[in-house]
Structure 1
């Protein structure tokens, strides 16, 4: 007997498809940033799948926030090494 809920990766794929009209309406310079959000969330798909939420939006947003936090920490570490305050 299989799972009753679609997988997180399936939900994420559907979410991205649902938001394609929004993406197309964005100015060209913002589309890469939009795509990066979904790329970032795929990094955490295993953890989000274990959470087994009924909706995809909460794990999606947490994944985006976590990816941005990691990026901030990396940039802060680089500044520290460069001797910037």
Structure 2
């Protein structure tokens, strides 16, 4: 049997594990936000897998930026509606 290539999700899990020592060195109140960044990356794993970059960190960072942009948009719309009232 031949070797199988790891899936994007496998590569993402390995990359997150590589960042484990960094996470452990963060203060406890910073670990939750750090974990949420990886949740953003996992939320876009299907699209990232279709792109299948040589370096998965590219799509991790883009996924994080995308989720932060969505949050900014939601908050901006909420502020606008509160100001209109």
What is the TM-score with the length of structure 1 in the denominator? 0.89
Q: Where does the alignment leave 5 or more consecutive residues of structure 1 unmatched?
A: none
Shift of 1:7: 1.4
Shift of 1:5: 3.8
Cα offsets for 1:23-77 (capped at 9, x unmatched): 0000011000100000011111111110011111101110011011011101101
RMSD: 1.8
- The number of residue pairs the alignment matches comes to 83
Distance 2:77 2:5 in 1: 40
Distance 1:8 1:82 in 2: 41
Q: Residue in 1 aligned with 2:53?
A: 53
- Which aligned runs of 4 or more in structure 1 are off by greater than 6 angstroms? none
What is the TM-score with the length of structure 2 in the denominator? 0.89
Distance 2:48 2:56 in 1: 9
